Chains A and B, each alone.
Chain A
Amino acid sequence: MSVDDPGKGVGRRDLLSLAAWGAFCASLATALVGAFRLPNPSVFPEPSLKVKVGPPGSIPELEYRKVAGRNLFVSRGEEGVFAISAVCTHLGCVVAPVPSGFHCPCHGSRFDALGRITGGPAPRGLDWLKVAKAPDGELVVDEGETVPPGTYLKI
């Protein structure tokens, strides 16, 4: 420390020295945080999450059709068509349809026919997915967009 009157507060040299160290640390911290920007992707390289599931007439009533190659089920109720994700909300396993609803093989989570949680370690019910109508008349399900349970597409 510089020779200074002890009662007079921080001397100029000490302040400049501190400021220099502070600037160094601040720029280092900024660089490190900035470096973390790279691994955080902005563009997601996965294939399109939207999938065509066929014309409205092909959606079964009162039962589920598993869409080929995707982890989701579509069905039609009184209020319209809806889609439920087959990905268990516990740790991501694929649920299997059972008479009472759905059942996850990994830790035994149970859901009812509308995806509500009825047993097991899953923290919430199965996600409902957005169903829309494509210009050519077919129905399109967007796996990347969840909607509140009970959202139907009227047809």
Chain B
Amino acid sequence: MGSWSEYIANVRALPRTVWESLVRHGAPVTDRSRAEAVFQNLFLHIHNTRVHRWSLRGSYTMGLGLICAASFVVLTVTGVLLMFYYKPSMALAYQSIKDIHYVVPTGRFIRNIHRWGAHLMVIAVILHMARVFFTASYKKPREMNWVFGIVLLILTLALSFSGYLLPWDQLAYWAVTIGANIAQSPREITDAAGITRYIDIGGFQKTLLLGSRSVGEDALIRFYVLHVVFLPLVMGVFMGLHFWRIRKDGGLSRPADADRRLGPAAEDVTPVFTQAPRKSYGLMAVVRGTSSNVGRGPENTLPSWPHLMTAEAAVFMFTLAVTVAISFFLDAPLKEMANPLVPENPAKAPWYFLGLQEIVSFSAFAGGVLLPVVTLIGLVLIPYLDREPEGVGDWFGAASRGRKVALRSAVFGLAAVIAVEAFAIRFGWLRSWYPGIPQIVITFFNPGTVLTFLYMAYSLWVIRRENSTRLGAIAIFTCFLAGFIVLTLVGTWFRGPNWEFFWSPSRWPVH
């Protein structure tokens, strides 16, 4: 009879015993248990157990990195939901998107969140890169993390591009066509050298992308596989590397005098250490070198549980709220079904590629391959070409020269891009005056390459004049931002049918 009453007692104790086997330590009340809540948790232990108060300042980071990560989560969840109804075949894709939008319960909402979330992620990624740059957070030991960040930027743009090809509407079809032809643009070089017959890099890339020689079923399914499986996996790996590196680098960057500037922590904040902590030690190994925490006290750090977790939750909720609010009122666009016989006029890429499209309108290779590669290589090299240790952790560095150089570079960048664009729009470019000119000349001498050269020359001049590589880096990065913004604006508002210049869309010819 003993085991029967035991049995009944076990049944009655079920809720408590199940709970206790899942949450074995209870709510943390000491600093040690707060640390344990982080490093003993499968999902949380990539975080450091303590976070510096400077890292939590909204005015410093503006939470932009977290907005990127939160957007990725939102996009993954909505993306998986969309996969329940989307069909990746030429005959069915368009109709399945329409079904999602008009028939599937909450389909319109989920689709909108996915589309607008993608745009917000691209914006957040660019702003995050700008924040990291202007606070000089790429300096030693964070150089490789900057490089991982650039890789994540490329992956974000690739994910966005592969995504808007999937509805197979007019925008998608012609974007694939243009993208595949840009992949083929190395032929501009091999044709000029006369070696296309032997080494056809362009043709190889185009066939690899399309799975065929023309845009069709294989292209769609390849972009689908890239978008839902391959690129998200690669992005997940690099996100892991990116977060891991933050830990290994000793947390987010901060100025050397951060502790003095922060002052004492507020009274009601969880105290740094409770009295009489229980410590136990085990000797694991003796290693050479120092960890990132040597020489730094625990002062001005807060336990990640709860402070970092609440900050992350707050930023996540904010990102979701903004995305949801936009998705509630604005519908994701969908053009007519893909028609290989009728190109869109004007056929415009999404906003983040319109700057490139403006340059591509002069040369496919220069705008599609050469200048993007040069820009990315330039970005990747920034932490290796500027190794001055000062100014980390503050916007524009502690010296006011940074702000001054940034403003002047913005003015120069704007003036240069407006001048080059105005010239090309008003007077045309080489082929307008010399119709027989060889294409290779235009490939290397066009508004895009001229502008890039001007920016590079300006930043080298700044390095010499101000005697600082950091200020030169600020110069070229600010110029790049200015050029990017203006070219995007021109491509968005001032280009109409036949990619001709119009002062406003109301002046486009009616067709």
Chain A min CB distance to B403 (Å): 39
Interface of B, helix, strand, loop or mixed by DSSP: helix
**Pairs across A and B, CB under 8 Å, 21 listed:** A40-B208, A44-B213, A45-B216, A69-B341, A71-B341, A91-B182, A92-B178, A93-B174, A93-B343, A94-B341, A106-B343, A107-B498, A117-B431, A118-B435, A121-B363, A121-B431, A121-B442, A123-B188, A123-B443, A124-B191, A144-B213
User: By CB atoms of chain A within 10 A, which of B207, B343, B362, B432 has the most?
Assistant: B343
Give chain B residues whose Cβ lies under 8 Å from the Cβ of A93: 174, 177, 343, 347
One digit per residue, 1 when the CB lies within 8 angstroms of any chain B CB and 0 when it does not, for chain A 105-120 equals 1111000000001111
Contacts A41-B211, A45-B212 aside, 7 further interface pairs with beta carbons under 8 A come to: A92-B181, A104-B498, A106-B343, A106-B498, A117-B431, A119-B431, A121-B361
Give chain A residues whose Cβ lies under 8 Å from the Cβ of B213: 44, 46, 144
Give chain A residues whose Cβ lies under 8 Å from the Cβ of B361: 107-108, 121
Which residue of chain B is the closest to A69 with respect to CB atoms? B341
One digit per residue, 1 when the CB lies within 8 angstroms of any chain B CB and 0 when it does not, for chain A 83-110 equals 0000000111110000000011111100
Partner of B360, one of A71, A91, A94, A105: A91
Chain B min CB distance to A51 (Å): 13
Interface membership of B342, Cβ < 8 A: yes
One digit per residue, 1 when the CB lies within 8 angstroms of any chain A CB and 0 when it does not, for chain B 164-203 equals 0000000000100110111000011001000000000000
10 closest Cβ pairs, A-B complex: A123-B439, A105-B345, A93-B343, A92-B177, A107-B361, A92-B181, A107-B499, A91-B181, A91-B178, A108-B498
Q: Which residues of A contact B (CB under 8 A)?
A: 39-41, 44-46, 69, 71, 90-94, 103-108, 117-121, 123-124, 144
Which residue of chain A is the closest to B214 with respect to CB atoms? A46
Query: In the complex, A105 Cα to B341 Cα: how many Å?
Result: 13
Query: In the complex, A93 Cα to B344 Cα: how many Å?
Result: 9
| Complex contact A41–B218 (CB within 8 A) | yes
Give chain B residues whose Cβ lies under 8 Å from the Cβ of A71: 340-341
Which residue of chain A is the closest to B432 with respect to CB atoms? A119
One digit per residue, 1 when the CB lies within 8 angstroms of any chain A CB and 0 when it does not, for chain B 412-438 equals 000000000000000000011001000
Partner of B212, one of A44, A92, A104: A44
User: By CB atoms of chain A within 10 A, which of B182, B211, B362, B498 has the most?
Assistant: B498
User: By CB atoms of chain A within 10 A, which of B174, B204, B216, B499 has the most?
Assistant: B499
Give chain B residues whose Cβ lies under 8 Å from the Cβ of A117: 431, 435
Give chain B residues whose Cβ lies under 8 Å from the Cβ of A46: 212-214, 216
| Complex contact A40–B207 (CB within 8 A) | yes
Interface of A, helix, strand, loop or mixed by DSSP: loop
Query: In the complex, A104 Cα to B188 Cα: how many Å?
Result: 19
Interface membership of B500, Cβ < 8 A: yes
Query: In the complex, A39 Cα to B218 Cα: how many Å?
Result: 10
In the complex with contacts A45-B218, A91-B364, A105-B343, A119-B212 CB distance below 8 A: no
| Complex contact B174–A90 (CB within 8 A) | no
Give chain B residues whose Cβ lies under 8 Å from the Cβ of A104: 498
Chain B min CB distance to A27 (Å): 23
In the complex with contacts A44-B212, A91-B182, A94-B341, A106-B346 CB distance below 8 A: yes
Give chain B residues whose Cβ lies under 8 Å from the Cβ of A105: 343, 345-346, 497-498
One digit per residue, 1 when the CB lies within 8 angstroms of any chain A CB and 0 when it does not, for chain B 355-367 equals 0000011111000
Give chain A residues whose Cβ lies under 8 Å from the Cβ of B435: 117-119
Which residue of chain B is the closest to A105 with respect to CB atoms? B345
Give chain A residues whose Cβ lies under 8 Å from the Cβ of B191: 123-124
Partner of A94, one of B181, B217, B342: B342
Which residue of chain A is the closest to B442 with respect to CB atoms? A121
Which residue of chain A is the closest to B340 with respect to CB atoms? A71
Query: In the complex, A117 Cα to B430 Cα: how many Å?
Result: 13
Query: In the complex, A137 Cα to B116 Cα: how many Å?
Result: 56
Chain B min CB distance to A59 (Å): 20
Chain B positions 337-381 with a Cβ under 8 Å from a chain A Cβ? 340-343, 345-347, 360-364
Give chain A residues whose Cβ lies under 8 Å from the Cβ of B216: 45-46
In the complex with contacts A108-B498, A121-B361, A39-B345 CB distance below 8 A: no
Chain B min CB distance to A10 (Å): 27
Which residue of chain A is the closest to B345 with respect to CB atoms? A105
User: By CB atoms of chain A within 10 A, which of B346, B364, B442 has the most?
Assistant: B364
Query: In the complex, A123 Cα to B361 Cα: how many Å?
Result: 11
Give chain A residues whose Cβ lies under 8 Å from the Cβ of B360: 91, 107, 121
One digit per residue, 1 when the CB lies within 8 angstroms of any chain A CB and 0 when it does not, for chain B 23-48 equals 00000000000000000000000000
Which residue of chain B is the closest to A95 with respect to CB atoms? B343
Query: In the complex, A52 Cα to B211 Cα: how many Å?
Result: 26
| Complex contact B498–A41 (CB within 8 A) | no
Query: In the complex, A118 Cα to B434 Cα: how many Å?
Result: 9
Chain B min CB distance to A87 (Å): 9
Query: In the complex, A94 Cα to B170 Cα: how many Å?
Result: 13
User: By CB atoms of chain B within 10 A, which of A106, A119, A144 has the most?
Assistant: A106
| Complex contact A124–B439 (CB within 8 A) | yes
Query: In the complex, A92 Cα to B181 Cα: how many Å?
Result: 7
User: By CB atoms of chain B within 10 A, which of A71, A92, A94 has the most?
Assistant: A92
User: By CB atoms of chain A within 10 A, which of B174, B218, B431 has the most?
Assistant: B431
Give chain A residues whose Cβ lies under 8 Å from the Cβ of B182: 91
Give chain A residues whose Cβ lies under 8 Å from the Cβ of B500: 108
Give chain B residues whose Cβ lies under 8 Å from the Cβ of A123: 187-188, 191, 363-364, 439, 443
In the complex with contacts A94-B343, A124-B191, A124-B439, A106-B364 CB distance below 8 A: no
Query: In the complex, A91 Cα to B442 Cα: how many Å?
Result: 16
| Complex contact A41–B442 (CB within 8 A) | no
Chain A min CB distance to B466 (Å): 38
Give chain B residues whose Cβ lies under 8 Å from the Cβ of A45: 211-212, 216-218
| Complex contact A91–B177 (CB within 8 A) | yes
Query: In the complex, A119 Cα to B498 Cα: how many Å?
Result: 13
In the complex with contacts A44-B213, A90-B364, A120-B431 CB distance below 8 A: yes
Give chain B residues whose Cβ lies under 8 Å from the Cβ of A92: 177-178, 180-181
Chain B min CB distance to A116 (Å): 9
